[in-house]
Structure 1
Amino acid sequence: MNHHTLPPLGLVLCTGFLVPWLLVRARWAQQVPRLALAVWVASGLLFAGSAALLPAQLILPSRTGHRLSDALFTFRFPPPERLSELSGLETTAAGVALAVLAVPATGFVRALLRARRQRQRHAETLRLVGRYDAGLRATVLEHERPAVYCLPGRSRRVVVSSGALHTLTRPQLAAALAHERAHISGRHHLLVAAAESFAAVFPRLPLARNGGTAVPLLLEMTADDRALRCCSRDALATALYALASGRAPREAFAAGGPSAALRMRRILTPHSAGHPVLRGLLTIAAAGLAAAPLIIACCSFPY
């Protein structure tokens, strides 16, 4: 057996099981959601890359596997013309690795296209039943229940119900609109599609299962933090309270929703970002150190 399968195996175990176990128990994740999102995204990319590298290392002989490990961990890649000189075994290993990578990539593209079709259909409905308000820069929909949501992507627009206009004060409405525009400008729908597709491809993997629920919540908190740059905590928190019962299409981001109570508590409890960032970096370092011995030991073996 090629001993160079151990580094990608260690990374698969670390990113697929250890990191999500640490993240779901970390208090700092909700205090610095952007850092937590970066860890989830990096873990997903590392898991996919390591899962693709693992069968390739199983196929390759030890000498070739050692060269591949050296190239990956020192970023010394062969020139493009070298690809035409690959042996049959190396070509097979590359094909298997690409096939493994294609599974989550295909799921991601399908999730994006499905959500895009749903948003387009909803946008067409809004053109018929809604009216654009230039002052709000949003589409107003006649509905008695207060709701504010956005459609990201190509059909991007912010939607406000007439019930929200009657219920929210001017500062509260401005806070809700800023929250929704943060979703649009941050392209948060891409991360939601990635989390959903990853959970569909690897339904029993802790990284995918926990990430599928953690990423949307962290995106809402990230949008909250962005909105707080131009509005008060009280305005945003009371807007969330008023919009908590509002409904929105599944493919949209809503200012209220089931996470409103948790986010209100977070908004009204100011915190210092210094210590959570430090704890987050320590968590990331601990996860990295868990895989480091395997990588160092295996790459130091002669071939």
Structure 2
Amino acid sequence: MIPALALAVYALMAGVAVPHVLARSRWAHRAPTVAVLAWQGLTLTFVVATALAVYHVVLVEQHVHDGLVGLLSACGLAADAPPGNSPATLSDVGLLLAPATIVLFPLGWLVRTAWQARGERRRHAALLTVIGTETSEYGATVVDHDVPAVYCLPGRARRMVVTRGALELLTDEQLRAVLEHEKAHIRGRHHLLRAATTAFARAFPGLPLAGLAQEQTALLLEMIADDRALRFHSREALATALCEVAAGRAPRVGLGAGGPGALIRLRRILTPQDRPHRVTWLGVIIASVAAPFLPLLVACGPV
């Protein structure tokens, strides 16, 4: 039971303790891409550690467990069972459903979330075809609405949307800056990461990691898009544009320029800081990639 306890503690740290530390990390807003990787690595770590902990608990007494070889034997993937182990029975293999559920449950939510979002995007795109007017100057769809708003519709029906109020309020440079922000969302396929964190939050409601990963990833993706826009436009133009369109609300399936944490992002845009030291972000990348594999070191060892 020692491996199961170690894996449970590891999963508890990934799901409860570390998320609060990562959410308060000062370096995250200075390296948002690395921070997104850290959140994704943390969610994967929680799923792997929890599934392996459950595997140890339910199968260790069934004599089909001898590290990773035992797991493969139970799945029928190993040529020879470990010495001294009896062949896996149907009930033994059935017990694998418990740890498999830990993995399949969030995957199921991901498929459902992605499918629902795709349908909503297609319906919204069809609506825009009716009520919107295409403008070749900005490569966007203009909607006759007084509230200034700019957002993008990602996926196959990708397009950028600008309200008439935004066209009248923003200068040419400001509008192009905020549209560059939206292009970054589309090119980076940020909607897929949003879908992943939403699915994880639905699969594990109440888990600190689930709520914080969804909240922080949404904010960090906006910062990544801000950084992309700042490559081509001034800080003042982007900051002013974000202030003007902050009140505009994007549809649920879209990514709006106002986005979450607008005040935090404005401070970040107007008071830039240096990227974290190379050792810091390299260490975070290595840790994020390695963390999901560490539970396997426990699982691979014989009981």
Q: TM-score range by the shorter chain?
A: 0.7 to 0.9
Check 1:84–1:125 CA distance in 2 against 1; reply closer, same or farther (3 A cut): farther
Distance 2:299 2:109 in 1: 33
Is the Cα contact below 8 Å between 1:199 and 1:208 reproduced in 2? yes
Q: Which residue of 1 aligns with 2:214?
A: 212
Are the structure 2 counterparts of residues 197 and 235 from structure 1 closer, same or farther at C-alpha, using a change threshold of 3 Å?
A: same
CA contact (8 A) 2:235 2:270 kept: yes
Given the alignment, which residue of 108, 111, 114 partners 1:112? 114
Greater shift in the superposed pair: 177-186 or 268-277: 268-277
Partner Cα separation in structure 1 for residue 122 and residue 228 of structure 2: 26
Q: Is the 8 A contact 2:222 2:260 kept in 1?
A: no
| Distance (whole Å) between structure 2 residues aligned to residue 99 and residue 239 of structure 1 | 46
CA distance in 2: counterparts of 1:284 and 1:81, whole angstroms: 30
Measured in 1, the distance between the counterparts of 2:43 and 2:105 equals 13
> What are the Cα deviations for residues 215-253 of structure 1, in whole angstroms up to 9, with x where unaligned?
111111111111112222111111101111112112111
1:73-98 per-residue CA deviation (whole Å, 9 max, x = no partner) reads: xxxx7898527976126523433222
Aligned partner of 2:17 in structure 1 is 18
Code of the residue aligned with 2:105 in structure 1: it is V
Q: CA deviation at 1:163?
A: 1.4
- Secondary structure of 1:109 counterpart: helix
Instruction: Provide, for residues 131-186 of structure 1, a one-character-per-residue CA deviation record: whole Å limited to 9, x for no partner.
Output: 11122111111112211100111221100111111111111111111100111111
1:128, CA displacement in angstroms?
Answer: 0.3
Aligned to 1:129: 131
> Aligned partners of 1:295 and 1:143: how far apart in 2?
54
> Which residue pairs with 1:162 in the alignment?
164
Distance 1:227 1:176, change over 3 A: same
Calculate the aligned-residue CA RMSD, in Å. Answer: 3.1
- Distance across 1 between alignment mates of 2:126 and 2:284: 48
Task: State the percentage of identical aligned residues.
Answer: 41
> Is 81-90 or 96-105 further displaced after alignment?
81-90
Output the CA distance in 1 between the equivalents of 2:248 and 2:300: 58
Q: Distance in 1 between matches of 2:211 and 2:79?
A: 37
Deviates most, 197-206 or 173-182 = 197-206
Please name the residue that 1:82 is paired with. Answer: 78
Which segment is superposed worse, 82-91 or 102-111?
Answer: 82-91
What is the Cα deviation at residue 107 of structure 1?
0.9
Looking at structure 1, the residues matched to 250 and 302 of structure 2 have their Cα atoms a distance apart, in angstroms, of 59
- Deviation of 1:280 (Å): 8.1
Alignment partners' CA distance in 1, 2:129 and 2:302: 67
| C-alpha distance after superposition, 1:28-52 (max 9, x if no partner) | 1111111111011011111112222
User: What TM-score do the two structures reach when normalised by structure 2?
Assistant: 0.85
Name the residue aligned to 2:84. Answer: none
* Gapped regions of structure 1 (runs ≥ 5): none
> TM-score of the superposition, structure 1-length normalised?
0.85
How many residue pairs were aligned?
A: 293
The answer as to whether partners of 1:4 and 1:66 remain within 8 angstroms in 2 is: no
Q: For 1:179-190, list aligned pairs within 5 A.
A: 179-190=181-192
**CA positional deviation for 1:258:** 5.0
Q: Structure 1: how far apart are the matches of 2:237 and 2:278?
A: 25
Alignment partner, residue 92 of structure 1: 94
Q: What letter is aligned with 1:211?
A: A
Q: 1:100 to 1:146 in 2, by over 3 A?
A: same
Question: Displacement of 1:189 after TM fit?
Answer: 0.9
> Is residue 29–residue 280 contact of structure 1 (8 Å, CA) maintained in 2?
no
SS at match of 2:151: strand
Q: Alpha carbons of 1:53 and 1:247: their partners in 2 closer, same or farther (altered >3 Å)?
A: same
Structure 1 CA distance for aligned equivalents of residues 250 and 45 of structure 2: 34
Unpaired runs of 5+ residues, structure 2, are 82-86
Cα gap change, 1:283 to 1:194, in 2 (>3 Å): closer
Structure 1 segment 114-263 matched on structure 2, within 5 A: 114-257=116-259, 259-263=261-265
Q: CA deviation at 1:213?
A: 1.3
- One-letter code of the match for 1:188? H
Secondary structure at the residue paired with 1:135? coil
Give CA deviations for 1:96-153 in whole Å, capped at 9, x if unaligned: 2222211111111111111112111111110001011122111111112211100111
- The answer on whether the counterparts of 2:30 and 2:273 sit within 8 Å (CA) in structure 1 is yes
Q: Is the 8 A contact 1:107 1:197 kept in 2?
A: yes
Structure 1 pair 83/92, CA: closer, same or farther in 2 (3 Å)? farther
